[in-house]
């Protein structure tokens, strides 16, 4: 289950949707520079990107939320904060989400989203979605966690 950024080729393939790397330990992800935090054994850990870091034009701060059970990471969600521009207000968006295949359908991704919404009350979900990600967003809409989309 995941949301991801636009495909570089314009056409998705299976590898575009493999985001298992989101389950890595804090500070180990090349895709999320400047991340800090401590591992936990059970529950949801929050790993923020360093706000003091110099960000490149295509990089943005945010937080990664990881759900652990018995020390095993089962699901992860990445929220990115985009600054205000002339066309758009500042916003916080779920750009990546991953749940281990044997854990899907147990509500872990929804629990991560609910936890992230505590930090980002106006949290939205990116529009580039895998089929599983689209189904998850429909579930969030059914639960009233995000507004229903009309497209």
Domain map of the chain by residue range? 14-143
**Three-class secondary structure of residue 94 per DSSP:** strand
Res 142: pLDDT: 92
Considering only CA atoms, which of 74, 72, 92, 95 is closest in space to residue 82? Answer: 92
Mean of pLDDT over the chain: 81
Residue range 39-48: average pLDDT?
Answer: 92
- Give the predicted TM-score (pTM) of the model: 0.80
Domain 14-143 has CATH 3.40.630: yes
Residue with tokens 């999320």: 32
Residue range 45-63: average pLDDT?
Answer: 71
pLDDT at 1 over 50: no
pLDDT at 87 over 80: yes
């Amino acid at each position: 289950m995941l949301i991801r950024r636009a495909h570089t080729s314009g056409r998705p393939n299976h590898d575009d949707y493999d985001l298992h790397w989101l389950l890595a330990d804090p500070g180990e992800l090349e895709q999320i520079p400047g991340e800090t935090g401590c591992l936990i054994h059970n529950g949801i850990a929050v790993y923020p990107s360093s706000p003091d870091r110099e960000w490149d034009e295509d990089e943005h701060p945010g937080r990664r939320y990881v759900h652990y059970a018995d020390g095993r990471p089962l699901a992860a969600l990445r929220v990115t904060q985009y600054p205000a521009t002339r066309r758009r207000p500042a916003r916080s968006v779920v750009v990546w989400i991953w749940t281990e295949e044997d854990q899907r359908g147990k509500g872990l991704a929804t629990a991560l989203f609910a936890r992230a919404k505590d930090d980002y009350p106006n949290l939205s979900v990116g529009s580039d979605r895998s089929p599983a990600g689209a189904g998850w967003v429909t579930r969030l809409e059914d639960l009233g966690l995000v507004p229903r989309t009309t497209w």
